[in-house]
Amino acid sequence: MQQRVSASGRPSGTDGSDFSYRMVVESRYQKVARTKSILRSFFLVQAITFLLGLFLLLFRSASNDLALPVLEIATMASGLISLMIGELGRKRSRVNLLRLFMVTSSIVVSFFVYCATQKYSGFMVAKRTSYWEIVLELPEVVLGVVGLVFHLFIISYTFHLISNMSIPKRAS
């Protein structure tokens, strides 16, 4: 495409007088892009939390010759699947997938916190004979708390993303 050359050698319309006709990106699209990038980092931290929890469960059960905690392993695996659904919804801007992610991840984190509090309640800690038993199992509780905090951030940012992605309703 060739540009027209005016008398001064400058193409017409580039002197800055056409600023009112230029297109501007609507602010909600900028918010969506910013929220998507924040959610990506939160999803990464949550996935690392689930993988570390899974590794700690497997390591502890293998080192103590205990049976595998099936409910906790299923919870961690469900959390990773839920994060994949959320990442797919985030990438493709699918509101239904993001809503499904919010529901499934809330259930998963609830089970995760339930398992941590069930195992490490004050009554169960009082039954432990060794100080080192408590110290070695403490990282799972810390991961549960970190997972819960990041989950709250993820849910709030996902809700914010869904509200900005939805088409604004016009007054009739």
- Domain positions in the chain are 26-165
pLDDT of residue 100: 96
- The residue type at 164: N
pLDDT digits (tens, 9 = 90+) for 82-100: 999 999 999 999 999 999 9
Which amino acid is located at 7 in the chain? Answer: A
pLDDT tens digits for the chain (172 residues)?
Answer: 455 545 555 555 566 666 666 666 678 888 999 999 999 999 999 999 889 888 888 887 887 777 788 888 898 899 999 999 999 999 999 999 999 999 999 999 888 888 877 776 655 555 655 666 666 667 777 888 888 898 999 999 999 999 988 776 666 5
pLDDT at res. 122: 57
Q: Provide the token pair at 61.
A: 């059960």
CB 168 within 8 A of CB 31: no
Query: Rounded to the nearest 5 degrees, what angle is found at the Cα of 161, between the Cα atoms of 103 and 105?
Result: 20
Rounded distance between C-alpha atoms, residue 69 and residue 57, angstroms: 8
Beta strands in 23-148 (DSSP E): none
Which of left, alpha, beta for 3 (phi over 0: left; psi -120 to 50: alpha)?
beta
Residue 57, pLDDT score: 84
| CB count in 10 Å sphere of residue 16 | 6
As a whole number of angstroms, the distance between CA 149 and CA 140 comes to: 14
Which of 113, 109, 116 is closest to 151 using CA atoms?
109
pTM > 0.85: no
Distance CA 147, CA 109 (A): 7
pLDDT at 53: 85
Where do we find the tokens 């199992």? 137
